[in-house]
A = this chain, B = another copy of it.
Amino acid sequence: MKKIINKPEDYVNEMLEGLYAAHPDLITYTNDDLRCLVTAKKKAGKVGIATGGGSGHLPLFLGYVGEGMLDGCSVGDVFQSPSAEQMAAVTREIDDGAGVLYIYGNYNGDIFNFDMAAEMVDFEDDIRVESVVAGEDVASAAPGAPGEKNTRRGVAGIIFVYKCAGAAAAAMLDLDNVKRVAEKAAANVRTMGVALTPCTVPRVGEPGFSIGDDEMEIGMGIHGEAGIRRGKLEPADQIVDEMLDKIVADLPYAAGDEVAVLINGLGATPLDEQYIVTRRVDQYLKEKGIRVHRYYVGEYATALEMAGFSISLLKLDDELKTYLDAPARTPFFVA
């Protein structure tokens, strides 16, 4: 795999240096650590919102720090959790007395470190922290009964949780209510992806897995986690229908529902193809009587140079719609 990089071990920090050079009006860092990214637009008295996770998913996670969404992000190595110390440093910087909400994806390393960071800032700094763990990937749902531990991976749909919670915080809701909005968004979003090619972690230098030249894998995760079915590459419409059948049945989404839709490129899939997907999604949802409030199409959560895409639906009520449509300005998201 060809990469436009210098030394693989400098990959994350050099990416961050470029990011700070390009967006000095929106983001900066704290604790003398490039990986403790915080907003340059701190709003007094507001609930802080922090996220974090491994690198290799731009614009996820750090790209949504700015105005009207997130206030901080701790940045890990490629596909690895940042440390609890980094999360705690970000938390201290963004807290302004109203407490901090953590929103992050359902991965063991992140859960472990975010829980530890929450304990640290509670004990050492008396900062109140609440957490919402986003996990909406239909492909990784456990087959068990409702109410069991959430086994779903957090993937692109977390953007909707960021956006709604970020707007609620910007509207000066208190921590309990910002958490309530985040939980509502998280509970109403579902995602499924498909991968056509693997991706290569720079330090490793070779793909973590392989997919045949004529194959795709439905349900593959953004770190290459196994999906639910591998098979021959099919026409776009057929792939979309299979994914939407599973997504729509899962929540379920029903006729008369109003949704926001995210068509997300995983890294190497051209926008043209993402719009060919959008076309079929639109036809499918019309047939089901599900109304679309708005579409987001593009790269929102990637897996390095993986080819493929994901589809996320967010079921809306009036409150979520208001927060989704509220203004925001970050390096990768302007609304």
Contact = CB atoms under 8 A, between A and B. Distances in A.
Q: What is the count of identical protomers in the complex?
A: 2
A116 B22 CA distance: 42
B267 A6 contact: no
Given A4-B196, A4-B239, A269-B4, A21 B278 contact: yes
Interface string A275-317: 1111110100000000000010111001011011100000000
Interface in A1-46: 2-7, 11, 14-19, 21-23
Given A196-B4, A272-B55, A295-B23, A14 B279 contact: yes
A242 interface: no
A7 to B, nearest CB: 8
Nearest to A23: B295
Scoring A7, A196, A271, A304 by chain B CB atoms within 10 A of each residue's CB, the highest score goes to A271
Nearest to A21: B282
A197 B273 contact: no
Contact of A18 (B15, B22, B269, B279): B279
A56 interface: yes
B295 A15 contact: no
Contacts of A237: 6
Interface residues of A, number: 61
A281 B16 CA distance: 14
A21 to B, nearest CB: 4
A72 B304 CA distance: 34
A124 interface: no
A277 B307 contact: no
A49 B292 CA distance: 31
A233 interface: yes
A273 B239 CA distance: 29
Contact of A3 (B3, B4, B7, B273): B273
Q: Which of A263, A269, A272 has the most CB of B within 10 A?
A: A272
